[in-house]
Chains A and B, each alone.
Chain A
Amino acid sequence: MKRRDALAATASLSVGLGLLALVRPASATPAEMAAAINTFTGGAAPQTGKVTFDVAQLIDNGNAVPVTISVDGPPENVRAIAIFTERNPQTEVAIFTLSPRSGRAAVSTRIRLATSQRLMAVARMSDGSYWSHGVDVIVALAACIEGEAP
């Protein structure tokens, strides 16, 4: 094998590993968030995709973080959208119930974040499938820092 072939093979292998690292398994999240998502989905494992969790990656103030969650595909198929956090004192943030009359499967709100962590948005479809999107955010000023640290 020539040197340039060996280099190309190494490069493609590392790209493959990089893609694998992006798609984290559900077990990588702390148990409480996994349990809360499990309760929401009724045991079904959410698939990655369709959902877009729009939030700033670097958050100055964790007391009011604007977030927008939208779901691709026909909006009448989306039944519910839920937000979960990994390291807030409580993992559930909100569950939004949509209807076939929603017109657009998107919802915005403002949330509190206790620390830098991973957030998950999970959407429930009318066919019983679940789709999710996780984002990692860095929080400079934390909400709920008084009292015991979470």
Chain B
Amino acid sequence: MARALIHMPSNAKRGDVIEIRALIGHPMETGYRVGADGKLLARDIIRSFVCRYNGEQVFGAELHQAISANPYIAFFTVATESGTLEFDWQGDNGFAHAEKMSITVSAA
């Protein structure tokens, strides 16, 4: 099971632009490296990342082999209402990981 870390404010005023930083433990094996036996190691990467704010997608990413191991993605969104943000990673070999974070939005 992968381990994911998400940094974001738990409280915000309505309309604030908040930064979300998401990190997940994953080797991101490129498929170009040679193993100890001299054969190519099979590709094993995270293909996609999605962030949904109360069910609506606010950010998405399509990742390729050139993303470093333990993919780190930082992005912004506008705090509109209290609720949950869902984070969803999907990759090769059926890899899937989901996280949820809650945010409380107060009136500006």
Genuine A/B complex: yes
Write the residues of chain A forming the contact surface with B, with a CB cutoff of 8 angstroms: 63-65, 75, 83, 85, 88-90, 92-99, 101-104, 106-113, 144, 146-148, 150
- B73-A101 in contact (CB<8A): no
B78 — which chain A residues lie within 8 A by C-beta?
101-103
Give the docked Cα–Cα distance between A99 and B40 (Å). 38
Interchain residue pairs A-B with the least CB separation, the first 8: A103-B17, A97-B60, A108-B74, A104-B76, A103-B78, A64-B68, A110-B68, A93-B66
Minimum CB–CB distance from A55 to chain B (whole Å) comes to 13
- Asked if B102 lies at the interface with its beta carbon under 8 angstroms from chain A, I say no
- A112-B75 in contact (CB<8A): no
- A92-B67 in contact (CB<8A): no
A92 — which chain B residues lie within 8 A by C-beta?
64, 66
Chain B, 53-68, CB within 8 A of any chain A CB: 53, 56-68
Residue from the list A85, A88, A95, A102 in contact with B61, Cβ < 8 A: A95
The bracket for how many chain B residues form the interface is 20 to 34
B62 — which chain A residues lie within 8 A by C-beta?
94-97
- B66-A96 in contact (CB<8A): no
- Check A106/B68 contact, CB under 8 A, given A94-B63, A96-B61, A146-B34: no
B75 — which chain A residues lie within 8 A by C-beta?
96, 98, 102, 106-108
Q: Please name 8 further chain A to chain B contacts, defined as beta carbons within 8 Å, in addition to the given A97-B57, A102-B76, A103-B77, sorted by A numbering.
A: A96-B75, A97-B60, A99-B58, A103-B18, A144-B32, A146-B32, A147-B32, A147-B33
Minimum CB–CB distance from A70 to chain B (whole Å) comes to 10
Minimum CB–CB distance from A134 to chain B (whole Å) comes to 16
- Asked if B72 lies at the interface with its beta carbon under 8 angstroms from chain A, I say yes
- A89-B59 in contact (CB<8A): no
B64 — which chain A residues lie within 8 A by C-beta?
90, 92-94
- A110-B67 in contact (CB<8A): yes
B69 — which chain A residues lie within 8 A by C-beta?
63-64
- Asked if B30 lies at the interface with its beta carbon under 8 angstroms from chain A, I say yes
- Asked if B71 lies at the interface with its beta carbon under 8 angstroms from chain A, I say yes
- With both beta carbons as reference points, the residue of chain B lying nearest to A92 in the complex is identified as B64
- Asked if B90 lies at the interface with its beta carbon under 8 angstroms from chain A, I say no
